[in-house]
Amino acid sequence: MKLVPLFDKVVLKQLVAEETTKSGIVLPGAAKEKPQQAEVIAVGPGGVIDGKEVTMQVKAGDKVIYSKYSGTEVEIEDEKYVIVKQNDILAVVE
Amino acid sequence: MKLVPLFDKVVLKQLVAEETTKSGIVLPGAAKEKPQQAEVIAVGPGGVIDGKEVTMQVKAGDKVIYSKYSGTEVEIEDEKYVIVKQNDILAVVE
Amino acid sequence: MKLVPLFDKVVLKQLVAEETTKSGIVLPGAAKEKPQQAEVIAVGPGGVIDGKEVTMQVKAGDKVIYSKYSGTEVEIEDEKYVIVKQNDILAVVE
Amino acid sequence: MKLVPLFDKVVLKQLVAEETTKSGIVLPGAAKEKPQQAEVIAVGPGGVIDGKEVTMQVKAGDKVIYSKYSGTEVEIEDEKYVIVKQNDILAVVE
Amino acid sequence: MKLVPLFDKVVLKQLVAEETTKSGIVLPGAAKEKPQQAEVIAVGPGGVIDGKEVTMQVKAGDKVIYSKYSGTEVEIEDEKYVIVKQNDILAVVE
Amino acid sequence: MKLVPLFDKVVLKQLVAEETTKSGIVLPGAAKEKPQQAEVIAVGPGGVIDGKEVTMQVKAGDKVIYSKYSGTEVEIEDEKYVIVKQNDILAVVE
Amino acid sequence: MKLVPLFDKVVLKQLVAEETTKSGIVLPGAAKEKPQQAEVIAVGPGGVIDGKEVTMQVKAGDKVIYSKYSGTEVEIEDEKYVIVKQNDILAVVE
Query: For residue G59, is it within any domain?
Result: yes
Nearest chain F Cα to E52, which residue? F52
Of G1, G6, G51, the CB nearest to A90: G6
Question: Quick check: G21 pLDDT over 90?
Answer: no
Q: Is the dihedral of CA D64, D70, D72, D74 positive or negative?
A: positive
* Closest residue in chain D to residue C46, using alpha carbons only: D57
Res G30: pLDDT: 45
The closest alpha carbon to F64, from E7, D54, D49, D42, belongs to: E7
E with D: 3 or more CB pairs under 8 Å? yes
Q: What is the 3-state secondary structure (H, E, C) of F28-63?
A: CHHHCCCCCEEEEEEECCCEEECCEEECCCCCCCCE
Q: Are chains A and C touching, using the cut-off of 8 Å on CB pairs and a minimum of 3 such pairs?
A: no
* ipTM entry: 0.76
Distance from CA of D8 to the nearest CA of E (A): 9
- CATH number of F85's domain: 2.30.33.40
Pairwise CB contact (< 8 Å): D5 & E91: yes
Q: What number of C-beta contacts closer than 8 Å exist between D and E?
A: 56
CB-nearest partner of E65 from D48, D77, D83: D83
DSSP helix/strand/coil, D29? helix
What's the CA angle centered on G89, arms G85 and G94, to 5 degrees?
A: 140
Q: Given E21, E33, E57, which is nearest D6 (Cβ)?
A: E57
CB G39 within 8 A of CB G89: no
Q: How far is A4 from chain G (nearest CA, A)?
A: 22
What is the least distance, in Å, from the CA of C87 to any CA of chain B? 8
Give G89's pLDDT tier (boundaries 50, 70, 90).
very high
Mean pLDDT (chain E, rounded):
83
Q: What is the dihedral of CA D4, D10, D15, D21, to 10 degrees?
A: 180
Task: Choose between F46 and E26: higher pLDDT.
Answer: F46
pLDDT of amino acid D7: 93
Find the range with the poorest average confidence among A35-39, B34-38, G22-26, G45-49: G22-26
Residue A48 structural domain? 7-15+31-90
pLDDT recorded at residue A39: 97
List, for chain B, all residue ranges whose pLDDT scores fall below the cut of 70: 17-35
Helices (H) and strands (E) in chain G, counts: 0, 9
> What is the rounded distance in angstroms from the CA atom of residue A9 to the CA atom of residue E87?
38
Question: In the predicted model, what is the mean pLDDT of residues C6-24?
Answer: 77
pLDDT at position G84 is 95
Residue E76 CA to residue F93 CA, distance in Å, equals 9
Whole-number pLDDT of residue B24: 59
Does residue E77 register a pLDDT over 70?
A: yes
Q: How many domains are contained in chain A?
A: 1
The residue that leads in pLDDT, E69 or G42, is G42
Confidence at residue B31, expressed as pLDDT on a 0 to 100 scale: 44
Of the two residues G67 and G43, the one the predictor is more confident about is G43
The verdict on residue C48 lying in a domain is yes
Which stretches of chain G sit within 8 Å of chain A by CB?
A: 1-7, 9, 11, 42, 44, 48, 50-51, 72, 74-78, 83
User: What pLDDT sits at residue D31?
Assistant: 44
Mark yes or no for CB contact B65/A2 under 8 Å.
no
Residue C23 forms part of a structural domain:
no
pLDDT (mean) for C27-55:
77
Phi, psi of G84 (to 5 degrees): -125, 165
Would the pLDDT of D11 be above 60?
yes
Domain for residue G2, yes or no? no
Q: Per residue in D33-77, pLDDT tens? A: 455 899 999 999 998 888 888 999 999 999 999 987 788 888 888
| Residue A52 banded pLDDT, cuts 50, 70, 90 | confident
Query: Is the separation of the CB atoms in E13 and E38 below 8 Å?
Result: yes
On the 0-12 / 13-18 / 19+ scale of CB atoms within 10 A, C48 is: middle
Predicted local distance difference test score (pLDDT) of residue B51: 81
* pLDDT greater than 50 at residue G68: yes
> Which chain E residue has its CA at the smallest distance from D77's CA?
E22
Q: How far is F17 from chain E (nearest CA, A)?
A: 11
In a domain, C69, yes or no: yes
Contact yes or no for F6 and G92 at CB 8 A: yes
Q: What percentage of residues in chain C have a pLDDT greater than 90?
A: 51
Quick one: pLDDT band at residue E6, thresholds 50, 70, 90? very high
Question: G64-90 as b/e, with b when 16 or more CB fall inside 10 Å?
Answer: bbbbeebbbebebeeeebbbbbbbbbb
Question: Mean of the pLDDT values across residues G60-69?
Answer: 91
- Residue E66 domain-assigned? yes
Chains G/A: 3 or more C-beta pairs closer than 8 A?
Answer: yes
Examine residue G77 and state whether it is found in any structural domain, yes or no: yes
Strand partners, D74: D81
Mean pLDDT across F49-76: 89
pLDDT of residue F47: 87
Confidence of residue E3 (pLDDT cuts 50, 70, 90): very high
pLDDT of residue C48: 85
Question: Min CA distance, G35 vs chain F (Å)?
Answer: 9
Contact E64, E91 (CB under 8 A): yes
Residues F40, F45, F47, F50, CA torsion sign: negative
Contact residues on chain G for F50, CB-CB shorter than 8 A: 52, 87
The pLDDT of residue A30 is 45
Cβ distance of A90 and G9 shorter than 8 Å: yes
Mean pLDDT score across all residues of chain C: 83
G78 within some domain: yes
